[in-house]
Amino acid sequence: MATITRIQPRALVRASGGPRYAVALAVDALGTGLLRPFLLLYGVKVLRLSAPVTGTAMTVGIVAGLVCMPAVGRWLDRGARSTVVAASMLVRVLGVALLLAAPAGHVWLFTTAALFLGIGNQAWPTAHAALVATVAHGRERDTALAGARALRNAALGVGALLATVCLAGGTTALRALAAVTALAYLAAAALAWSVHVHTYPAEAAPAKDRDDEPAPRMLALLAANVVYVFCLNVPEIALPLVLVTQLHASPVWPAAVFVANTALVVTLQVPVTVLMSRFSRRTVLALSGVVLAASYLGFLAATSLGHGWGTPAIATVSVVCTIGEIIYAGSATALVTALAPAHVLGRALARFQLSTGFGLAVSPAVITTLAPHGPAALWGSLAAATLLSASAVATEKDQGTRLSDCCPRERAGL
């Protein structure tokens, strides 16, 4: 299997959908970074809703987004690509517009807004992966997916930083942030749609090809992915919980860990993905589980050191956890796109996003339930579950890879 041994920026941008699409990704992520971390504050501060009501409405939005994923997968399998990406951005414009229109105390408008935002946030990763899989193939596609993740994390970080600075303006600033977010989503949707990437509809494929290429079940991969994605909430939920409530460290420490996590993802996602291209995607995904499990055991050991040494030790181990996250992110979606036949790629990616969204939805509850029972309950459980998942990934039998990796059958109009 061919590997990519060096990074070529122009080729990377082209494989990611082209310059206009790269700008669309950055603008969309900037808008998301402006609003998403402060959506709860918008409901509480601007609309005067209680925190439990606001949180419940946001959860309903996430669940609704997951329910819509099968329809998104079928739409993609009819040949749509950039249109679905643009739609995932436009539906969030509608969500932000409802936020701006909602009067104080109006919980249903906020819930509806959260619903549209949730649909867009869940649909976007699937549509984006399908688009990249259409314009790039083999290891070039893997690197393009990694590059898009690095770009998106950078823009999310900038957006969140700008929003933090603007928060001093109170409710007026929050409304202004929402308006700017809507404009960013609208501009990103226009740019994404202008790329005009599409494929032949699934029905155009010969019946023999459809029979010869059944949709891979990927049961072990999907189940393992639910556990793997817990790593994405470790810097945001688990580490702040442990550092502040158990080790009584300054809030500066979890903030520094989060910033370091973002910086490492931005700078290392592409180089690490390129480095790992020497090995099979399944092997790399299994390796990421081993690295993540090792980091969880490292957190367990660091916590036992107590307040003095425990805090810097946890910060150090968090680097290992981030490396595991980077390896996981660079191989998981890439493995799905390699396994799925072209005519069911959308549905395969939609199922994968369902497992990702479910893991992200339940992980805060699982982490906050385990943490009060002590470090061994939290980190030991996560390490055991992740090692079990890595073993399942490593031993699952592939049903073959897409023929399009070798001889592309898709058409992309750029």
Of the candidates 335, 239, 348, the residue with the CA atom closest to the CA atom of residue 288: 335
Supply the pLDDT for residue 157.
87
Lowest mean pLDDT, pick from 41-45, 255-259, 270-274: 41-45
Confidence of residue 375 (pLDDT cuts 50, 70, 90): very high
User: What is the Cα 93 distance to its own chain's centre?
Assistant: 20
More confident residue, 36 or 372: 372
Supply the pLDDT for residue 398.
66
Q: What is the pLDDT of residues 57-80, one digit of tens each?
A: 888 888 888 899 999 999 999 998
Length of the chain: 414
More confident residue, 412 or 225: 225
Q: Is the pLDDT of residue 246 over 90?
A: no
Judging by beta carbons within 10 Å of its beta carbon (0-12, 13-18, 19+), is residue 67 exposed, middle or buried? middle
The most confident of the ranges 150-164, 270-284, 389-403 is: 270-284
Inter-residue contact 231 to 385 (CB < 8 Å):
no
Which pair of structure tokens corresponds to residue 11? Answer: 């080729």
Q: Is the pLDDT of residue 367 over 90?
A: yes
Q: What is the average pLDDT score of the chain?
A: 86
Q: How far apart (Å, rounded) are the C-alpha atoms in residues 158 and 160?
A: 6
Determine which helix (DSSP H) or strand (DSSP E) holds 36, and give its type and residue range: none
Q: How far apart (Å, rounded) are the C-alpha atoms in residues 283 and 331?
A: 9
Supply the pLDDT for residue 60.
84
Q: Which residues are 80's β-sheet partners?
A: 198
In which residue are the tokens 């439990």 written? 52
Q: What's the angle, vertex CA 34, arms to CA 179 and CA 226, rounded to 5? A: 125
Confidence of residue 11 (pLDDT cuts 50, 70, 90): low
Q: How far apart (Å, rounded) are the C-alpha atoms in residues 118 and 102?
A: 17
User: DSSP per residue over 129-186, as a string?
Assistant: HHHHHHH--HHHHHHHHHHHHHHHHHHHHHHHHHHHHHGGGHHHHHHHHHHHHHHHHH
Task: For residue 262, count other CB atoms closer than 10 A to its CB.
Answer: 17
Determine which helix (DSSP H) or strand (DSSP E) holds 107, and give its type and residue range: helix 107-135
Of the candidates 321, 301, 333, the residue with the CA atom closest to the CA atom of residue 230: 321
399 to each of 105, 163, 171, 199, how far by Cα in Å?
53, 46, 54, 23
Confidence of residue 10 (pLDDT cuts 50, 70, 90): low
Supply the pLDDT for residue 414.
38
Q: What is the pLDDT of residues 186-236, one digit of tens each?
A: 999 999 999 888 887 644 455 445 444 555 678 999 999 999 999 999 998
Of the candidates 251, 224, 176, the residue with the CA atom closest to the CA atom of residue 395: 224
Supply the pLDDT for residue 404.
42
Q: What is the DSSP letter of 11?
A: H
More confident residue, 10 or 54: 54
Q: How far apart (Å, rounded) are the C-alpha atoms in residues 71 and 388?
A: 31
More confident residue, 110 or 40: 110
CA dihedral 56, 383, 388, 127 (to 10 degrees): 40
Inter-residue contact 79 to 201 (CB < 8 Å):
yes
Inter-residue contact 363 to 190 (CB < 8 Å):
no
Q: Is the pLDDT of residue 5 over 50?
A: no
Confidence of residue 7 (pLDDT cuts 50, 70, 90): low
- What mean pLDDT comes out for the span 163-172? 79
Task: For residue 248, count other CB atoms closer than 10 A to its CB.
Answer: 9
